[in-house]
Amino acid sequence: MLKARGGHSRSDALIIGGGHNGLVCAAYLAAAGLKVTVLERRAVVGGAAVTEEFHPGFRNSVAAYTVSLLNPKVIRDLDLPAHGLRVVERRCANFLPTADGRYLLTGDGRTPAEVARFSARDAAHLSEYGARLDAIADVLRDLVLMTPPNALRGGWRAALPELVRAARVGGRLGRLDIRLRRELLALFAMSAGEYLDRWFESEPIKAVYGFDGVVGNYASPYSSGTAYVLLHHVAGEVNGKHGAWGHAIGGMGAITQAMASAAAARGVEIRVATPVREVLVEGERAVGVITESGETLRAAAVISNLNPRLLYLNMIAPAALPADVREHMSHWRCGSGTFRMNVALSELPDFTCLPGRALADHHTAGIILAPTLAYMEQAYFDARSYGWSRRPIIELVIPSTLDDTLAPRGQHVASLFCQHVAPQLPNGASWDTHRETVADLMIDTVNAYAPNFKAAVLGRQIMSPLDLERTFGLIGGDISHGVMSLDQLFSARPMLGYGNYRGPLRGLYMCSAGTHPGGGVTGAPGHNAAREVLSDFRRGRLRRVA
Ligand SMILES: Cc1cc2nc3c(=O)[nH]c(=O)nc-3n(C[C@H](O)[C@H](O)[C@H](O)COP(=O)(O)OP(=O)(O)OC[C@H]3O[C@@H](n4cnc5c(N)ncnc54)[C@H](O)[C@@H]3O)c2cc1C
């Protein structure tokens, strides 16, 4: 462990951005004795994982809205429960109204009987499907906290550790039997739709599972690569239960407030309302930053929590970067096809297919309004042609059914995660012109399933892709700092040659969702980047300045 030293005028590590990955990275570095400063542009830390009062008396998570991917090691190491984090499970997993007026309600102990109402064959396949997916998801769980092997450069001394890393990945895959290796190949390369069609014949269960392949992913469920996104979304856990999604009491901001508290307790200095304008480069080395207000701060390590395209195209002088890096990042694909709303509700939605305004299990679920994979595919085609789906996909989550800190007694807040919308509208149209129209469409879509919904809306918050970009720095509203496609994953996140959290300048590092393992409130990029920074301090590649 590195020894702590006194003196607060300079930092060993400066982190640009106080998103959850920046905070996690900071906490690990400070725990090892480094002097760490986090610089956050907004008045509040947390990035896309924050809670806000959006209507008088009603609070909700503004962007990210549900927990599963947050890594258990990060929770343990930062001791987040001691800093106030409490995550609760939903009473059931998903509720999906069907096109013919029925519904599917999944969750512990109830899924087989529910699916059997649509297909006895599908019900019989559920357990084998779940077992295989969980076995493959275990591989992902093992890989998330690993630094991907970097594309080889230099002589054997540089190559050796990368070969060892590659061998570790190979070894992990080698522990799968040949059937599971075939399955893994299918999941990495196929579409979610084709994969699910292999397993199931009835639409509702395919839609519930297929939603995970398109959530935050601007694609048809029949686009190649969506099966991998599905896998990414089932690789999480809530309180040890694999694949479950839950709710952080106080909203997603409670997670990042706990992280900020853990970081501060370890001595991290967190400065909010301090946007960084530029990375300071001297002699091919990142040596600090210049803030928007013109302040220069120096450090041995500069670590970016930003979308890598923002870092390389906006924050570093072009002449200071290799041309191939700028070229690669100019093609970095961003845009997740999402439109996010919060609504304050005077009462719970009364669904035609499962009537009742009194709180019931289905109100606590992830409510998926998209009855079939074909519907989801059409939603994507519409957005490509017109800018948004005429019949959108919505996940409705009503966290106040599990958390009484969010809304006045008897009233509720709901998150609407809506797709598909084009990151940039056709013909140069602006999202500022169309956001209210699209918000009305989302409310009408929910109202078609629960006819009391529209009248129950007391207030609403709208986040178009442009709003997400302006508020959080998410390019094209991309929730993952870059599309999660095979060409942008693992060693290629954000680019081959720099897949190990180190940037192309000495002293420059990356810790955002734009690095492995990608998007979601995971803490994993922050954890992994900290390990690499600490390793460079230990090996003398970085020298403490604080
Ligand atoms: C609408 C939406 C819904 C989502 N839903 C979920 C969900 O339910 N569950 C889930 O697990 N994940 C969800 N996600 C994904 C998840 O929130 C993100 O992938 C994750 O928050 C990324 O974390 P990060 O720390 O890498 O980056 P960010 O959270 O983007 O943080 C980056 C930080 O950098 C700051 N910054 C930017 N520019 C500067 C600058 N120049 N100077 C200083 N600071 C700067 C930003 O203000 C921000 O605080 C969702 C995301 C969105 C947008």
The per-residue pLDDT for range 413-423, each reduced to its tens digit, is: 999 999 999 99
Atom nearest to 275 CA in ligand 1? 42
Distance 107 CA to ligand 1 centre (A): 29
How far is the C-alpha of 341 from the C-alpha of 17, rounded, in Å? 24
Tens digits of residue pLDDT in 2-11: 333 333 468 9
* Residue 478 CB–ligand 1 contact under 6 Å: no
* Residue 474 CB–ligand 1 contact under 6 Å: yes
Indicate the helix (H) or strand (E) that contains 327: helix 323-330
How far is the C-alpha of 93 from the C-alpha of 246, rounded, in Å? 9
Q: Which residues contact 116 (CB under 8 A, 6 or more apart)?
A: 122, 123
Question: Which of 37, 211, 218, 472 should be mutated for ligand 1, with most atoms under 8 A from CB?
Answer: 472
Question: Strand 296-304 to strand 11-16: parallel, antiparallel, or no bridges (unpaired)?
Answer: parallel
* Residue 255 CB–ligand 1 contact under 6 Å: no
Distance 155 CA to ligand 1 centre (A): 37
How far is the C-alpha of 286 from the C-alpha of 45, rounded, in Å? 24
Tens digits of residue pLDDT in 362-380: 999 999 999 999 999 999 9
* Residue 275 CB–ligand 1 contact under 6 Å: yes
CB 244 within 8 A of CB 68: yes
- DSSP classification of residue 83: G
**DSSP helix/strand/coil, 490:** helix
How far is the C-alpha of 420 from the C-alpha of 40, rounded, in Å? 30
- Per-residue tokens: 118: 């649509």
- Per-residue tokens: 201: 């014949």
- Residue pLDDT tens, the chain, 546 long: 333 333 346 899 999 999 999 999 999 999 999 999 999 999 999 999 999 999 999 999 999 999 999 999 999 999 999 999 999 999 999 999 999 999 999 999 999 999 999 999 999 999 999 999 999 999 989 999 999 998 766 666 677 777 777 778 888 888 888 999 999 999 999 999 999 999 999 999 999 999 999 999 999 999 999 999 999 999 999 989 999 999 999 999 999 999 999 999 999 999 999 999 999 999 999 999 999 999 999 999 999 999 999 999 999 999 999 999 999 999 999 999 999 999 999 999 999 999 999 999 999 999 999 999 999 999 999 999 999 999 999 999 999 999 999 999 999 999 999 999 999 999 999 999 999 999 999 999 999 999 999 999 999 999 999 999 999 999 999 999 999 999 999 999 999 999 999 999 999 999 999 999 999 999 999 999 999 999 999 999 999 986
Query: What type of residue is 428?
Result: G
pTM, full prediction: 0.96
- Per-residue tokens: 312: 């390389």
Residue 124: CB atoms within 10 A of its CB come to 12
Question: Which of 42, 256, 306 should be mutated for ligand 1, with most atoms under 8 A from CB?
Answer: 306
Helix residue ranges per DSSP H, 69-177: 72-77, 111-116, 120-144, 156-174
CB 106 within 8 A of CB 208: yes
How far is the C-alpha of 519 from the C-alpha of 69, rounded, in Å? 9
* Residue 23 CB–ligand 1 contact under 6 Å: no
